[in-house]
C-alpha cells in the first residue's frame, strides 16, 4: 500500500468573479522513501492541491479522497488533522522569512513545535533536540545559534531552520512547496543536497512542488506535470525528459535554454497564455495553445491513459509518439493530418 | 577595436552610507555595492552580468543608466563621460527594462499613455502622431494595437513585460539595460520574451546589458558574460568560452550549482557545494572577496588582491581575478571544512 493515495481530488473557490476550479481532478500516490515532483506554472493548482490535503485552504469546496496510511485526510476534523500535521506530514514553504515568527527565537519555535505534539518532553530535552536538529541541517555552532532570532539568519540558514523544524518529529511525508525558489543558485544547491541526504537517512517520502524542471531532473523519482488544475502527464523522471508524450511537457522542455530547445538553437515558446480557471476551455484544456490540436481535442477531454508502462498522459495523440525525436514527430503529424478537418483553426 | 566600444566603465565604485542618529545623522558603515569595476560593452553585443543577490549587479546597471551617481570612477558612453546628472541626450540613448512587470507600470494609467510618455518628455511627438507611433511600437513587440486604451491590470505578466519593452524602445535607444527581465515570468512565457528581445536586437541593432541570476538564460542570450561577486567582477569572457572553460573557482561553483533540465547530465555532474553564504557587503573580506568560501584559497588570497587579467593559456579577452585559476578537468568538490565553519557568519539583511 502506498503511503499517500489521492483519488480524484477537486478543489474550487467561490470568488466575486465566479467559481475558480483550482484543482479539477487529480489522482496520484507516493510510496515511503520516494520523491514525487509536481511541476507546473503559476495557477496550475500544484500548491493548492497539497495545501488542501493538509487542511490549509479554508473556504474551499473539496471533493475526492486522500488516504494517508488508510485514513482519509479530507474527511478528518480539524483536531484530527492537527495531530497529523507535524508528526506525520510536515511542510516546507517557499519563503523562509515569512514562515518563521519574527519575534520568537528560532530555537523556541522548534521547541514549541516538539512540545505541542509531545507534551511529556521537558523543555530542556526539547531544547537539546532543537540544537541537535540545527546541527544536523548544517547550522554552525547550533548551541549558540539556537537563541538567535530569524532576522539574524541568512536566507539559506532560515530555510535550513525550516527543514530542521519539518524533521523535528520525524514525519513520514514532507511536502516541500518551492523550497529553493527564493534562494541563490549556490545556496539552492546546498539545500537540495541537504534535503536528499536527510531523506535517505530518515526514509521520508517527499513531495517536491516546483516550477523548475532543473530541480526535478536532480532529485525526483516520479513526476506529475500539472496544467490548468489537472495532471497532464505522470511518469518517472527519465521518461519525462527523454520520452515525454504530452505536448505541454514537450513545450516546457523546448522553452528553457538548458533543455531540449536551447544550446545554440532558438527557443520554442508555447504560444498564448494559461487559461482562466473560472471558465476552462472545452475538451482538452491545452488545446488553444497546442500545435497538434485535432478536432476531438476541442470537444472531448482526454483521460489520463497509459502510453507506456507506468507512464500516463492525457492526450489524444498516438500512444507511441514519445519523445522529441523525428520519428515521434512524424507519428504526431500524420495523426494531426487525419484528425483535423478545419484548416488553420 | 576601441571605436566600437559603446560603454566603458572605469574603476567604478558605488557605496551606500548607513546612517544613524536622530538629528545629527552620521555615517556608521557603508554598503560596498559596487567596489571597483572595469567593464566594456561593445556596440551590438549583449553583455550578460551574473551573480547572486547582493553582488551589486543591479546597482552597477543603475549606475550605467545614470540612476545612481557613482561614488568614484567614471562611465564613458560613446567616449564621452556621463556626469552625475546625465543630460536628456544621454537619457534618450540609454533605456531600462525592469524585473517586475507588475511594479514597474502605473496601474492607473492607460497602456498608450505609459508607452507614449517618452515622446512627451522629450517633446518628440504628440496628438495623432504620438498615437500612431505608440501603436507601431505595440505591434513591434507583439501586442494588439487596439489595446491602446487598456489598463495594465488587463494584461498578463508576459504582456506587461512587452509593454515595458515597448516603452524602452520608444526613443530608439542605443543601449538597453535589462535587469532580470524574465525572472518573474513562467517558463513558457519566458521563452516568448527572450525571443522577442533577440529579434529586436537583430532588427534594430541594439546593445544589451542583460542581468540575470539564471545562468542558462544568460548563456543563451549573451555574447560576453561578466561574473560578479560582492561588488567585483571575478571573471569576464566570451559566453561560450566562460561556460566551457571557467577559470575562477566561483564561476566553477556557480555553474556546477545551476540546475540542468536533463537527468543524465545532472547525474554525471560533480556539484561543488560551497559552504556558507555570501558575506555581507558592509564588511567584505579583504583582498580576494571569495577566499573565505574558496576551495583553493591559500595565504596570499587573504592578503593580496588578484587583478582581473588574462591568465596563462587563455584568450586575451578572457579575464580572471584569481591567483590560482582552475585548470580544465581539475576537481574542486572538496571544500575545506575548517574554513567553512567560520565563514557562516550571519549576513546582515542588506545582502538579501
Q: For the segment B302-339, what is each residue's pLDDT rounded down to a tens digit?
A: 999 999 999 988 899 999 999 999 987 777 765 444 44
Predicted pLDDT of residue B339: 42
Write down the residue that cell numbers 533577440 correspond to: B198
What pLDDT is stored for residue A215 in this prediction?
87
Residue B352 lies inside a defined structural domain of this protein = yes
User: How confident is residue B345, by pLDDT bands cut at 50, 70 and 90?
Assistant: very low
Domain-located, residue B238: no
- Asked if the model's pLDDT at residue B347 lies above 60, the reply is no
Q: What is the pLDDT of residue B273?
A: 79
Looking at the fold, whether A112 and A46 belong to one and the same domain comes out as: yes
> Residues A305, A168: one domain?
no
How many A×B Cβ pairs under 8 Å?
A: 129
Residue A217: which of B215, B253, B262 has the nearest Cβ? B262
Q: Is residue B274 part of a domain?
A: yes
Provide the residue range defining the domain that includes B336: 247-352
**Considering the domain boundaries, does residue A228 fall inside one?**
no
* Distance from the B322 Cα atom to the nearest Cα atom in chain A, whole angstroms: 19
Domain count for chain A: 2
Q: Are residues A128 and A267 in the same domain?
A: no
Backbone angles phi, psi at B64, to 5 degrees: -65, -35
Residues A170 and A122 in one domain: yes
What is the signed CA dihedral for B315, B321, B327, B333, rounded to 10 degrees? -150
Interchain proximity A156–B277, CB inside 8 Å: yes
Whether residue A268 is predicted with pLDDT greater than 80 in this model: the reply is yes
- Does the pLDDT of residue B341 top 60, yes or no? no
Candidates A92, A66, A70, A76; CA nearest to A9 is A66
Q: Looking at CA atoms only, how far is residue B214 from chain A in angstroms?
A: 8
Query: Within a domain: residue A140?
Result: yes
- Nearest CB neighbour to A186, from listed B52, B186, B189: B52
pTM: 0.84
How close B77 comes to chain A (CA, Å)? 31
Judged by average pLDDT, the poorest of A174-178, A216-220, B266-270, B347-351 is: B347-351
Residue A264 has pLDDT above 70, yes or no: no
Whole-number Å distance between alpha carbons of A210 and A193:
16
- Averaged pLDDT, A310-327: 89
**CA–CA separation, A99 vs A91, rounded Å?**
11
Where residue A107 falls among pLDDT bands split at 50, 70, 90?
Answer: very high
Distance from the A238 Cα atom to the nearest Cα atom in chain B, whole angstroms: 6
Q: Which residue on chain A is closest to B192 by alpha carbon?
A: A269
pLDDT for residue A117 is more than 90: yes
Nearest one of B59, B77, B76 to B68, comparing CA atoms = B59
Determine the pLDDT at residue A304.
92
Tens-digit pLDDT profile for residues A65-75:
999 999 999 99
Q: Say yes or no for a CB contact (<8 Å) between A153 and B346.
A: yes
Closest CA to B252 of B282, B232, B227: B227
Interchain CB distance below 8 Å, A212 and B346: no
| C-alpha of A305 from chain center | 21
- At A80, list the grid cell: 484530527
pLDDT above 50: residue B350: no
Looking at the structure, tell me whether residues A216 and A247 fall in a common domain: no
Cβ contact, residue pair B188, A255, below 8 Å = yes
Domain annotation covers residue A261: yes
Residue in chain A closest to B340 (alpha carbons) equals: A140
CB contact under 8 A, A241 and B262: yes
Residues of A in contact with B346 (CB under 8 A): 148, 152-154, 157
Residue at B316 is within a domain: yes
Instruction: Identify the band that residue B281 occupies on the pLDDT scale cut at 50, 70 and 90.
Output: confident
The whole-angstrom separation of Cα B129 and Cα B143 is 19
Instruction: State whether A268 and A143 are in the same domain.
Output: no
Mean pLDDT of chain A: 89
Q: Which three cell numbers stand for residue B18?
A: 548607513
Question: Is B112 within a domain?
Answer: no
Q: Which residues of chain B make contact with A271, given a CB cutoff of 8 A?
A: 192
pLDDT in the model for residue B28: 87
Total domain count for chain B?
1
Kindly state whether residues A195 and A278 are assigned to the same domain.
Answer: no
Identify the pLDDT of residue B340. 41
Put simply, the answer to whether B220 touches A185 (Cβ < 8 Å) is no
Model pLDDT for residues B108-151, shown as the tens digit of each residue: 999 999 999 999 999 988 889 999 999 999 999 989 999 999 99
Q: How far is B25 from chain A (nearest CA, A)?
A: 25
Q: Are residues A285 and A218 in the same domain?
A: no
Angle between helices B111-121 and B157-169 (to 10 degrees): 20
| Enclosing domain of residue A126 | 4-223
Residue B149 lies in a domain: no
Q: Which of A170, A189, A223 is the last residue of a domain?
A: A223
The 10s digit of each residue's pLDDT in B22-61 is 888 888 888 999 999 999 999 999 999 998 888 889 899 9
Q: Which of A164, A190, A223 is the last residue of a domain?
A: A223
Residue B236 reports pLDDT greater than 90: yes
Interval B234-242 mean pLDDT: 94
Question: For B190, which of A251, A255, A268 is closest by C-beta distance?
Answer: A255
| Dihedral-angle region of residue A121 (phi above 0 means left; psi in -120 to 50 means alpha; beta otherwise) | beta
What is residue B328's predicted lDDT score, i.e. its pLDDT? 79
Q: What is the pLDDT of residues B171-221, one digit of tens each?
A: 999 999 999 898 888 888 888 899 999 999 999 999 999 998 888 889 999
Place of cell 522548534: A110
| Triad B260, B328, B240: Cα angle to 5° | 55
Q: Answer whether residue B259 shows pLDDT above 80.
A: no
| Banded model confidence at residue A209, pLDDT cuts 50, 70, 90 | very high
Residue of A nearest to B191 (CA): A269
Query: Residue A151: which of B53, B260, B349 has the nearest Cβ?
Result: B349
Residues A44 and A79 in one domain: yes
Give me the residue from A154, A217, A261 closest to B260, CB to CB. A217
Distance from CA of A155 to the nearest CA of B (A): 7
Whether residue A106 is found in the same domain as residue A177: yes
Per-residue pLDDT averaged across A174-178, rounded?
A: 92
Taking an 8 Å cut-off on Cβ atoms, the answer to whether B257 and A155 are in contact is no
Give the ipTM: 0.79
User: Can you tell me which residue has the cell 513531495?
Assistant: A207
Per-residue pLDDT averaged across A164-193, rounded?
87
Do A290 and A155 share a structural domain?
no
Please check whether residue B290 lies inside any domain of the structure: yes
pLDDT level of residue A265 (50, 70, 90 thresholds): low
Q: How close B258 gets to chain A, by Cα (Å)?
A: 6
Average pLDDT, chain B: 87
In tens, the pLDDT along A222-258 reads 999 999 999 999 999 999 988 999 999 999 888 888 6
Distance (Å, rounded) from C-alpha B235 to C-alpha B228?
7
Average pLDDT rounded to a whole number, residues B284-306: 91
Residue A85 is given by DSSP the state: B
Does one domain contain both A273 and A124? no
- A323 Rama class: left (phi>0) / alpha (psi -120 to 50) / beta: left
A217/B274 touch (CB, cutoff 8 Å), yes or no: no
Query: Cβ atoms within 10 A of the Cβ of A85, count?
Result: 18
Residues of B in contact with A139 (CB under 8 A): 344
Residue closest to B201 by CA, chosen among B171, B174, B181: B174
Q: Map chain B to HEC letters.
A: CHHHEEEEEEEEEEEEEEEECCCCCEEEEEEEEEEEEEEEEECCCEEEEECCCCCCHHHHHHHHCCCCCCCEEEEEECCEECCCCCCHHHHHHEEEECCCCCCCCCCCCCHHHHHHHHHHHCCCCCHHHHHHHHHHHHHHCCCCHHHHHCCHHHCCHHHHHHHHHHHHHCCCCCEEEEECCCCCCCHHHHHHHHHHHHHHHHHHCCEEEEECCCHHHHHHHCCEEEEEECCEEEEEEEHHHHHHCCCCHHHHHHHHHCCCCCHHHHHHCCCCCCCCCCCCCCCCCCCCCCHHHCCCCCHHHHCCCCCCEECCCCCCCCEECCCCCCCCCCCCCCCCHHHHHHCCCCCCHHHC
Cell numbers standing for residue B66: 545614470
| Nearest CB neighbour to A185, from listed B213, B277, B344 | B213
Identity of the residue in B195, B219, B275 whose CB atom sits nearest the CB atom of A266:
B195
Mapped onto helix, strand or coil, the DSSP state of residue A191 is helix
Question: Distance (Å, rounded) from C-alpha A135 to C-alpha B150?
Answer: 54
Cell numbers for B341: 565553519
**A74, A60 contact by CB (below 8 A):** no
Within-domain flag for B193: no
Q: Compute the distance between CA of residue B57 and CA of residue B48 in angstroms, rounded to an integer.
A: 10
Amino acid at each position: 500500500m502506498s503511503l499517500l493515495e489521492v483519488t480524484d481530488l477537486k478543489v474550487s473557490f467561490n470568488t466575486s468573479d465566479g467559481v475558480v476550479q483550482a484543482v479539477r481532478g487529480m489522482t496520484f500516490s507516493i510510496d515511503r522513501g520516494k520523491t514525487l515532483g509536481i511541476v507546473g506554472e503559476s495557477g496550475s493548482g500544484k500548491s493548492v492541491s497539497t495545501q488542501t490535503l493538509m487542511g490549509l485552504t479554508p473556504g474551499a469546496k473539496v471533493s475526492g479522497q486522500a488516504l494517508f496510511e488508510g485514513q482519509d485526510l479530507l474527511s478528518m476534523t480539524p483536531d484530527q488533522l492537527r495531530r497529523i500535521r507535524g508528526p506525520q506530514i510536515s511542510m516546507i514553504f517557499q519563503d523562509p522569512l515569512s514562515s518563521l515568527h519574527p519575534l520568537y527565537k528560532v530555537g523556541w519555535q522548534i521547541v514549541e513545535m516538539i512540545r505541542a505534539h509531545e507534551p511529556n518532553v521537558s523543555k530542556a530535552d526539547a531544547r537539546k533536540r532543537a540544537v541537535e536538529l540545527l546541527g544536523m541541517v548544517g547550522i554552525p555552532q547550533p548551541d549558540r545559534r539556537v537563541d538567535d532570532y530569524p532576522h539574524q539568519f541568512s536566507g539559506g540558514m532560515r530555510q535550513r531552520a525550516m527543514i530542521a523544524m519539518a524533521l523535528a518529529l520525524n514525519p513520514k511525508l514532507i511536502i516541500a512547496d518551492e523550497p529553493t525558489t527564493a534562494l541563490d543558485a549556490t545556496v539552492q544547491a546546498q539545500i537540495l543536497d541537504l534535503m536528499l541526504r536527510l531523506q535517505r537517512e530518515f526514509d521520508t517520502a517527499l513531495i517536491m512542488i516546483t516550477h523548475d524542471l532543473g530541480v526535478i531532473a536532480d532529485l525526483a523519482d516520479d513526476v506529475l506535470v500539472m496544467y490548468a488544475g489537472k495532471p497532464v502527464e505522470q511518469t518517472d523522471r527519465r521518461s519525462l525528459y527523454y520520452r515525454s508524450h504530452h505536448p505541454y511537457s514537450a513545450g516546457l522542455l523546448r522553452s528553457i535554454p538548458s533543455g531540449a530547445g536551447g544550446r545554440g538553437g532558438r527557443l520554442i515558446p508555447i504560444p498564448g497564455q494559461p487559461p482562466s480557471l473560472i471558465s476552462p476551455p472545452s475538451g482538452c484544456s491545452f488545446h488553444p495553445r497546442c500545435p497538434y490540436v485535432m478536432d476531438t481535442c476541442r470537444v472531448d477531454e482526454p483521460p489520463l491513459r497509459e502510453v507506456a508502462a507506468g507512464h500516463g498522459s492525457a492526450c489524444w495523440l498516438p500512444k507511441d509518439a514519445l519523445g522529441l525525436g523525428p520519428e515521434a514527430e512524424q507519428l504526431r503529424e500524420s495523426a494531426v493530418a487525419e484528425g483535423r478537418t478545419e484548416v488553420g483553426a | 577595436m576601441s571605436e566600437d566600444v559603446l560603454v566603458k566603465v572605469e574603476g567604478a565604485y558605488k557605496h551606500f552610507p548607513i546612517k544613524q542618529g536622530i538629528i545629527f545623522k552620521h555615517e556608521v558603515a557603508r554598503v560596498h555595492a559596487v567596489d571597483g569595476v572595469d567593464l566594456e560593452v561593445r556596440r551590438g553585443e549583449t553583455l550578460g552580468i551574473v551573480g547572486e543577490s547582493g553582488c551589486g549587479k543591479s546597482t552597477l546597471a543603475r549606475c550605467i543608466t545614470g540612476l545612481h551617481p557613482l561614488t568614484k570612477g567614471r562611465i564613458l558612453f560613446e567616449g564621452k563621460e556621463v556626469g552625475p546628472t546625465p543630460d536628456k541626450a544621454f537619457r534618450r540613448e540609454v533605456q531600462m527594462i525592469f524585473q517586475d512587470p507588475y511594479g514597474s507600470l502605473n496601474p492607473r494609467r492607460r497602456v498608450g499613455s505609459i508607452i507614449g510618455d517618452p515622446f512627451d518628455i522629450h517633446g518628440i511627438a504628440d496628438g495623432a502622431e504620438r498615437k500612431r507611433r505608440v501603436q507601431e511600437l505595440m505591434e513591434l513587440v507583439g501586442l494588439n494595437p487596439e489595446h491602446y486604451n487598456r489598463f495594465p491590470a488587463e494584461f498578463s505578466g508576459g504582456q506587461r513585460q512587452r509593454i515595458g519593452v515597448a516603452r524602452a524602445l520608444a526613443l530608439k535607444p542605443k543601449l538597453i539595460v535589462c535587469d532580470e527581465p524574465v525572472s518573474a515570468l513562467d517558463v513558457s512565457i519566458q521563452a516568448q520574451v527572450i525571443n522577442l528581445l533577440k529579434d529586436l536586437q537583430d532588427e534594430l541593432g541594439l546593445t544589451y546589458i542583460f542581468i540575470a541570476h539564471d545562468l542558462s538564460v544568460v548563456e543563451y542570450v549573451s555574447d560576453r558574460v561578466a561574473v560578479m561577486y560582492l561588488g567585483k567582477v571575478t571573471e569576464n569572457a566570451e559566453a561560450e568560452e566562460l561556460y566551457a572553460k571557467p577559470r575562477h573557482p566561483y564561476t566553477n561553483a556557480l555553474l556546477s550549482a545551476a540546475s540542468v533540465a536533463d537527468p543524465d547530465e545532472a547525474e554525471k555532474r560533480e556539484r561543488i557545494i560551497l559552504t556558507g553564504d555570501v558575506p555581507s557587503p558592509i564588511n567584505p573580506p579583504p583582498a580576494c572577496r571569495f577566499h573565505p568560501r574558496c576551495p583553493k584559497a591559500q595565504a596570499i588570497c587573504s592578503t593580496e588582491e588578484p587583478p582581473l587579467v588574462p591568465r596563462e593559456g587563455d584568450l586575451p579577452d578572457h579575464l580572471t581575478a584569481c591567483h590560482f585559476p582552475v585548470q580544465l578537468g581539475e576537481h574542486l568538490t572538496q571544500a575545506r571544512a575548517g574554513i567553512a565553519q567560520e565563514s557562516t557568519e550571519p549576513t546582515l539583511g542588506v545582502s538579501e
